[in-house]
Amino acid sequence: MDQFLIEGGVPLLGEVATSGAKNSALPALAACLLTDEPVILQRIPPVRDIRTMQKLLEHTGARVDELAGGNVVVQASDITKPEAPYEVVKTMRASSLVLGPLVARTGRARVSLPGGCAIGARPINLHIAALEHLGARVEQSHGYIEARADDGLKGNHIVFERITVTGTEDLMMAAVLAQGETVIQNAAREPEVVDLAEMLVKMGARIEGAGTSTIRIQGVSRLYGAEHRIVPDRIEAGTFLIASAISGGELVVTGCEPAHLEALIAKLQQAGVTIADAGPGALRAKAAGHLRSVDMTTEEHPGFATDLQAQFMALMTQAEGISFITEKIFENRFMHALELCRMGADIRIEGRQAIVAGPRKLTSAQAICSDLRASASLVLAALAAEGETVIDRVYHMDRGYERFDEKLAAVGARIRRVASKQSDEKSMEAAS
């Protein structure tokens, strides 16, 4: 199990590139199950969750070939095992994304309930209810969801009782092969949903309204092979913008989509961070003087992304005043706050609200990652802390960030990845 050793107090300077979006690549890979023809996906980030999804596709019988430059070719000629077993997906929260494609393509699916980060409940019940509206028979037992649609799926009018990104994506993938029209209301509007819709259209699907709260899908009899480039990772880009500010440096973040970052950019500017256009698909971030405290509430897109909440909290520990951070998406997403307090932060949690008082001098400590985005917040805090911080369980970060430590080191961060002593001790015990 690896650790990060980070010596803080060094401003980040230079240029850092954004990878393809993990949260877009996962449903795109799942969508490859909808056709027996080869699908070429470009800009697939080689992170841990992607590796898990690729193993899952191979388990179903699909062939996955990795090409140079982050390109992947998937061909699901025959789906021999329409299932997602626990032992394959236990570390990934996106296992439910294959539920819709498998039922639509084969008429049946057996999918383990999601694993991954312990940040709160995922509304899998919304996926189940939506599939039942399309005519599937769904049962849940022994940690698995089993769905059947022996006569195929049939279009229907679906109203999500709450916005769900994976639910919207899963239902879109099921509906493209359903008979007739499906209307999804209260649909998620995230860029990743739009990206998936564009990919499905390239494959022959008929979809209108992606990016709005109402999506209309006319079912087709089959889909075809296609080539699609994954959108930039807005969460990674946002994390680098915050890293620039918290370190007191100046970074140019390239290969991003500024339109996907408008909510974060507005909050950073309110906090005193200069954000400027640095060319096509590039932003320059620099902390100009003292940071100011800013209140923030996470919301569905186009609001402030919950996946940037932890990183923004780390930044607010260095801002002048009191910041109220409200988490409305996940009920258990403040676990990083305790670790930040161990580094010297002044944070009080009251239900779904964190009250952050700053600026506080952060000092090195032994910290432990609890989930993917919490990992990023601890790394950002360590960049601003005095001394060398040791961060354990960085495999959480490897689930969603491509070579994050290497990218930071390239712009001046004093960060090293090492095997933990505990891992070394276990290796020695196994050898003896």
What are the catalytic residues? 117
Rounded Cα–Cα distance for residues 75 and 137 (Å): 27
Q: Tell me the Ramachandran region of residue 281: left when phi exceeds 0, alpha when psi lies from -120 to 50, beta otherwise.
A: left
Residues of 141-166 as b/e, b for ≥16 C-beta within 10 angstroms? eeebbbbbbeebbbbbebebeebbbb
pTM of the model: 0.93
Q: Cα(296)–Cα(298) distance, rounded to whole angstroms?
A: 7
Q: Which residues of the chain have pLDDT under 50?
A: 116-121, 423-432
pLDDT for position 422: 57
Tell me the sheet residues that pair with 5: 390, 416
CA 259 to chain centre: 18
pLDDT at position 122: 52
CA–CA dist 190, 192 (Å, integer): 5
- The b-or-e profile of 32-67 (16+ CB within 10 A means b, else e) is bbbbbbbbbbebbbbbbbbebbbebbebbebebeee
Nearest Cα neighbor of 191 from 242, 240, 257 is 257
Task: Report which of 258, 250, 239 is spatially closest to residue 286, judged by C-alpha positions.
Answer: 250
What pLDDT sits at residue 430?
36
The confidence score (pLDDT) of residue 424 equals: 42
- If DSSP states are collapsed to H, E and C, what string results for the chain? CEEEEEECCCCCEEEEECCECHHHHHHHHHHHHHCCCCEEEECCCCCHHHHHHHHHHHHHCCEEEECHHHCEEEECCCCCCCEECHHHHCCCCCHHHHHHHHHHHHCEEEEECCCCCCCCCCCHHHHHHHHHHCCCEEEEECCEEEEECCCCCECCEEECCCCCHHHHHHHHHHHCCCECEEEEECCCCCHHHHHHHHHHHHCCCEEECECECEEEEECCCCCCCCEEECCECHHHHHHHHHHHHHHCCEEEEECCCHHHHHHHHHHHHHCCEEEEECCCCCEEEEECCCCECCCEEECCCCCECHHHHHHHHHHHCCCEEEEEEECCCCCCCCHHHHHHHHCCCEEEEECCEEEEEECCCCECCEEECCCHHHHHHHHHHHHHCECEEEEECCHHHHCCCCCHHHHHHHCCCEEEEEECHHHHHHHHHHHC
- Of the candidates 285, 260, 251, 255, the residue with the CA atom closest to the CA atom of residue 271: 285
Express each pLDDT in 298-309 by its tens digit: 999 999 999 999
Domains of the chain: 2-19+232-426 (3.65.10.10), 22-229 (3.65.10.10)
Rg from Cα positions in the chain: 22
